[in-house]
Chain A
Amino acid sequence: MTHATMTHAAHDEHPTWLRRWVFTTNHKDIGTLYLVFAALMFVFAGSQAMAFRLELFAPGIQFIDPLAFNQFVTIHGLVMVFGAVMPAFAGLANWLIPMMIGAPDMALPRINNWGFWILPFAASLLLLSIVVPGTPEAGWTMYPPLSIVGSSGKVQLGGDLLIFAVHLLGMSSILGAINIIVTILNMRAPGMSLMKLPMFCWAWLITAFLLIAAMPVLAGGVTMLLTDRHFGTSFFDAAGGGDPVLFQHIFWFFGHPEVYIIILPAFGIISHIVPAFSRKPLFGYASMIYALVGIAFLSFIVWAHHMYTTGMPLAGNLFFMYATMLIAVPTGVKIFNWVSTMWKGSLSFEAPMLCALAFIMIFTVGGFTGMMLAMAPADYQYHDTYFVVSHFHYTMGISAIYAIVGAIYFWLPKWSGRLYDERLARIQFWISIVAVNVTFFPQFFLGLAGMPRRIPDYALQFADFNMLSSLGAWVFGSAQLLFLYIVLKTVFAGRRTAEARVWDGATGLEWTLPSPAPYHSFATPPVVH
């Protein structure tokens, strides 16, 4: 043990296992809890994807009833977004932000504990909704009237549990967001002006504001669903003077910022990994921040591009088309900056860098298809087909996974003081990157050829690509188990390292701490010049 950890250990209470994890207010413990929780949810939602890819392997209904299929798709989407990806980024934020800004911990440790411990309860409600009558079946977007009456025409318990789960998830996210804003704005080391803030912190700062603005809107929307379901209101019922499309406006006013809530922290991570393995400073630091702010602003005025075919007036469709197209500008800036960071660098390709490169390529494919989807007239063809399914998995699904996996490879040696198995990590990377493209690239063709999303069975002309996609999905899913094995192996049996700067190209305050990082990151603030 290093000198720093010894000092802290001296005044640390060391409670028993249960009390340590349940009552913890430590940013590292809470970060670990978030990440473990995310991994469990990822395995759960992933196994659902494996199951419905089994049903989609060949035409005909073989394994899963069509109703259950819709339920699988619904829960897969909700758990992946709220249970896996968002908590994973929250876990990374907890681990990294204090270490990056030179703080001992997060600003509001008890709120931090509460923010996490809401999640298992929210997840329990969500999982409980699967086994009670009326399992949610309307997709993660929960569009009424289907999310009210379901296929059976009855209002059933499952939908209510989902609504309460969403309320809790929103509370958890807001508490986390408040904590992150307060921490970043108040606890930076002396000399660390905002324009010296590490990119991951910038990305999370902006994300946190998006969360605070967007999550209450979703909470409001699902509360309106709840009162429509039980208390005789007609917000979304035309027969009572309401409008089903109103819910879509509310949902996407949350939903589009949500997409950036998921991807901005990923941008932040990539902006650390690419410079480290290029052994060069990040290109265009200031423009990266302006681009983040630009994307965040635009995210609030583009929501109805998810709704071009709902019958909006011409002027509405045109406004949302123009606003959406504008997103390409700041997003392009980010991608160009990453590539310029690599230009004339001294590149090496350890697992984190491979993940970052995969992220750039995959996100770019998602971005290009996003440009295509932004074109409202063309969207009249693409909308609600597999083209969209593939697009959003490229932009916010797989790319988020590569950012998270890359971040864990990058920072795990710092957190644990142990090195991961580089050879195994590279094998895992190559299996997974091939498989994920075999899974999702054919789905672009399926969508263009006319296959709607969310169908359990399909016409014969879609058979070959679906089979390919299923095979890819199973390989990709299995490869993720290998990733979890690599992480566990590192944490419990990895080769120890005492080096502070684990990667020779890494810069930032976290790399000045010993490995593993001390329990209270910075007891005395470092000075940033």
Chain B
Amino acid sequence: MRGRNKSNRGCAAFGAGLASLGPAAAWAEMRVNLPEGVTPISHEVYDLHMLILAICAAIGVLLFAVMFYSIYAHRRSKGAVAVQFHEHALVEVLWTVVPFVILVAMAVPATKSMIALHDTGEADVTVKVTGYQWKWQYEYLEDGIKFVSNLKTPSEQIYDGAAKGENYLLEVDNPLVLPVNKKVRFLITAADVLHAWWVPEFGWKQDATPGFVNEGWARIEKPGTYRGQCTELCGRGHGFMPIVVEARSEAEYAEWVEERKQERAAAEAASAETFTMEQLMEEGAKVYNASCAACHQAKGEGVPGAFPAIAGSATAKGPVGAHMNIVLNGRPNTAMMPFGGQLDDLHIAAVVTYERNAFGNGVGDRVQPADVKAARGR
């Protein structure tokens, strides 16, 4: 029950929060500005940001200097007597024309960067990014690699006040791996509601709209791990669908692509094998936590009024065929999406087995990859 101990946890969070205000060193590490980024676009955007910030700051200093001088020097308590002027053609024209000229000057670099942002042609690698409630799917169009990237932060850290890891809420099970110094083109779309794909170090975000494909591009300049988040409100799990990009050297990237291809071949072979209950339950727990727990919750209790419980559910305890069908094809007019396209046969078999036997459901039957393969055909 998540309801219990709320006030205790609240107090603890309060205390922990106050403690973390602590030493000034912590403040020094805190980021207060846009990142300079690791792509040519992000540098341009950063420079534009700093330029417009400087212009605004300069105008602000001038304006407020005049205002505060007036507040100081022209106050009645000092005996100031009001001078009754109320217009001045020259200054009025000046402060209309001068800002206009500044704006035109600002428009030039802004236009240049805007054109560069839209220049998605001649890419070396193309990745299709699909937003789901609440995870990202990545598909490498040239290499046929496809996987789903889920939040890896355990729910105890989110809901139960467990100590939070370094990359709390910004960690995923399968990061998007990309090569450095290659032009990567992103084709961004969504399967259900709006999402937005944003890695601040790349310098842009792009909305993911169901039924439409948007574009973005990045030429990553140095290897590293870059983290971002969904930035368009997409429902209950909006805060819990991070993006992690691992940028690797070209050689390492090629190696990774090769490994993924072999993995896929292995997975296809596995669908012919038979697994024990222990194997299925172990694998199923992993799949469940990655793909199902965001809605149905870690202990299968669901969210009343929004997401049904798995624990004790008629589906999980009913006929296996119907259960598998819902996992594969989703349930129309509900948030239950089809997982057939996201998970392979083994994973579907494992998670269905897990749901039927975990959370006190104890049905006792097993589902094998071959059963899933057969069910897909139907």
- B-contacting residues of A (Cβ < 8 Å)? 54, 57-63, 65-67, 70, 133, 137-139, 143-146, 149-155, 237-239, 243-245, 278-287, 309-311, 313-314, 317-318, 321-322, 325-326, 328-329, 332-333, 335-336, 339-349, 357, 360-361, 364-365, 368-369, 371-372, 375-378, 380-381, 383-385, 445, 448-450, 452-461, 463-465, 467
Contacts and interface: CB of A to CB of B under 8 A. Distances in A.
Contact of A378 (B17, B29, B45, B161): B45
B83 A280 contact: yes
Contacts of A456: 239
Given A60-B164, A279-B82, A326-B103, A66 B30 contact: no
Interface of B: 6, 9-10, 13-14, 16-18, 20-21, 26-27, 29-35, 41, 44-45, 48-49, 52-53, 56-57, 59-60, 63-64, 66-67, 70-71, 74-77, 80-88, 91-92, 95-96, 99-100, 103, 106-107, 110-111, 113-118, 133, 157-159, 161, 164, 166-170, 192-194, 196, 198, 200, 203-207, 209-212, 214-215, 227-240, 303, 305-307, 333-336
Contact of B82 (A143, A346, A378): A346
A145 B192 contact: yes
Contact of A459 (B34, B76, B99, B167): B167
Contacts of B52: 371-372, 375, 378
Contacts of B6: 62-63
B91 A314 contact: no
Contacts of A60: 9, 13, 157-159, 161, 164
A162 B179 CA distance: 47
A375 B76 CA distance: 42
Given A243-B212, A368-B60, A154 B333 contact: yes
B47 to A, nearest CB: 10
Nearest to A242: B211
Contact of A280 (B67, B82, B107, B164): B82
B114 A321 contact: yes
A239 B242 CA distance: 27
Contact of A445 (B20, B32, B74, B230): B32
- Considering the complex of A and B, which 6 residue pairs feature the smallest CB-CB distances, nearest first? A238-B211, A153-B335, A455-B239, A151-B235, A311-B214, A377-B113
A237 B80 CA distance: 65
A377 B100 contact: no
Nearest to B169: A459
A339 B71 CA distance: 10
B203 A309 contact: no
Contacts of A335: 63
B153 to A, nearest CB: 10
A273 to B, nearest CB: 14
Nearest to B188: A311
Contacts of B10: 54, 62-63
A340 B100 CA distance: 20
A317 B111 CA distance: 9
Contacts of B206: 309, 311, 380
A50 to B, nearest CB: 14
B238 A357 contact: no
Contacts of B17: 57-58, 463, 467
Given A381-B34, A450-B31, A146 B196 contact: no
Contacts of A378: 45, 48-49, 52, 110
Nearest to A278: B82
15 contacts: A60-B157, A145-B192, A151-B306, A152-B335, A280-B85, A283-B86, A314-B114, A329-B99, A360-B67, A365-B60, A372-B52, A381-B49, A445-B32, A455-B238, A457-B158
A449 B228 CA distance: 11
Contact of A343 (B74, B77, B214): B74
A347 B28 CA distance: 41
A270 to B, nearest CB: 13
B77 A58 contact: no
Given A67-B306, A321-B110, A326-B103, A349 B75 contact: yes
A377 B48 contact: yes
A317 B29 CA distance: 35
B334 A152 contact: yes
A143 B233 contact: yes
A243 B205 contact: no
B80 A361 contact: no
B118 A342 contact: no
Contact of A464 (B27, B114, B211, B306): B27
Nearest to B103: A325
A29 B51 CA distance: 51
A381 B45 contact: yes
A383 B231 CA distance: 8
A345 B74 contact: yes
B120 to A, nearest CB: 11
A313 B215 CA distance: 11
A348 B210 contact: no
A460 B210 contact: no
Contact of B74 (A245, A333, A336, A342): A342
A473 to B, nearest CB: 14
A381 B204 contact: yes
Contacts of B212: 238, 243-245, 311
A464 B233 contact: no
B19 to A, nearest CB: 10
Nearest to A237: B211
Given A60-B157, A329-B100, A340-B91, A146 B205 contact: no
B115 A314 contact: yes
B114, B215, B334, most chain A CB atoms within 10 A: B114
A146 B194 contact: yes
B106 A455 contact: no
A155 B57 CA distance: 48
Contacts of B234: 146
A198 to B, nearest CB: 15
Contact of A145 (B35, B117, B166, B194): B194
A245 B168 contact: no
Nearest to A452: B231
B77 to A, nearest CB: 7
A402 to B, nearest CB: 15
Nearest to A449: B31
Nearest to A466: B17
Contacts of A339: 63, 66-67, 70
A88 B20 CA distance: 40
Given A146-B234, A455-B238, A61 B158 contact: yes
Nearest to B100: A329
A163 B58 CA distance: 45
A318 B114 contact: yes
Contacts of A65: 236, 303
A58 B86 contact: no
Nearest to B99: A332
Contact of B235 (A144, A146, A348): A146
Contacts of B31: 445, 448-450, 461
B99 A328 contact: yes
Given A154-B333, A238-B210, A460 B95 contact: no
B27 to A, nearest CB: 7
Contacts of A465: 30
A445 to B, nearest CB: 4
B87 A457 contact: no
A380 B194 contact: no
Nearest to A505: B82
B109 to A, nearest CB: 9
A465 B370 CA distance: 53
